[in-house]
Homo-oligomer: A and B are copies of this chain.
């Protein structure tokens, strides 16, 4: 096969792979379609078949990130085998480790341009939040206090609050306003708040 045909069929995957690495090393503003084309050994216009605009590349990265994160937290729930505290801790750890490992990707995933994400990203985000909802339902006991007269059910409120808290910890970690050494204790604190506290007997 000719050198030119090498990328037939997998140029998209190769570009995405390089982009993911660049994102880790240089952040979003370090991503350049032209540079990625050079890395892949094709002309600067070749990626256009797969990513007509730069934003399309960012969307593909975000979508991939959501799917990875969704699979990761679902796997942690499965592995915990029914123990609520263990499951909660493992899921929370998984979420926050993702933010530590791929902070720039996380930022990309949650940076809706003009408040509206592309359809693919939005669908992947929906799958992610559905998974979070399932996990919260499986892990968190029904709230002790009844919900006020609002529009949200107790369950939905607990889901949104827990998701917000974990996401806040992840965001502040990415921003350098929290230290990784504080994470375990914060996760335990979140567990206590939501009634998934560590058993005193463990200590």
A-side interface residues toward B, CB under 8 Å? 27, 103, 107, 110-117, 125, 129, 145, 147-152, 157-158, 160-161, 163-169, 171-172, 174-178, 181-182, 184-186, 188-190, 192-194, 197-198, 203
Contact = CB atoms under 8 A, between A and B. Distances in A.
A56 to B, nearest CB: 15
Contacts of A167: 168, 171-172
**Copies of this protein, total:** 2
Contacts of A116: 176
Main secondary structure of the interface of A (DSSP, over half): helix
Contacts of A113: 27
Given A168-B171, A190-B161, A185 B148 contact: yes
A171 B167 CA distance: 8
Given A112-B177, A151-B185, A168-B168, 17 more contacts: A110-B177, A111-B175, A125-B177, A148-B185, A150-B185, A151-B182, A152-B186, A157-B189, A160-B178, A160-B186, A161-B186, A161-B189, A163-B168, A164-B165, A164-B168, A164-B169, A165-B168
Contacts of A177: 110, 112, 125, 129
Nearest to A152: B185
Contacts of A148: 185, 188, 198, 203
8 contacts: A110-B172, A110-B175, A116-B176, A148-B188, A161-B186, A163-B172, A164-B165, A164-B168
A171 B173 CA distance: 13
Contacts of A169: 164, 168
